[in-house]
Amino acid sequence: MTETAQKEMICVSVNGEPRSIAAESSIADMLRAIGLDPLKVAVERNLEVVPRSTLGDVAASDGDSFEIVHFVGGG
């Protein structure tokens, strides 16, 4: 069994879609795993905005609900 297969997984919701991520993942880890740059999004966790400076420090928990907004340039 590979190391990835041995990791415990947790279930979270991202923009209303259920996702499984590795337990003990930071929010930044989760964002990278789904192909997003933590510097280019705003994140709300369980109805509270998560400061971008803490995305690498805050661990996702089983059952968390995330809303992620992408920054778009233009004008």
Q: What is the separation of C-alpha 27 from the centre of its chain, rounded to a whole number of angstroms? A: 4
Question: How many of the other CB atoms lie within 10 Å of CB of 40?
Answer: 13
**CATH number belonging to domain 8-70:** 3.10.20.30
CA distance 5 to 11: 15
List, for residues 15-63, the tens digit of each pLDDT value. Answer: 999 999 999 999 999 999 999 999 999 999 999 999 999 999 999 999 9
Enter the pTM of the model.
0.84
List, for residues 23-36, the tens digit of each pLDDT value. Answer: 999 999 999 999 99
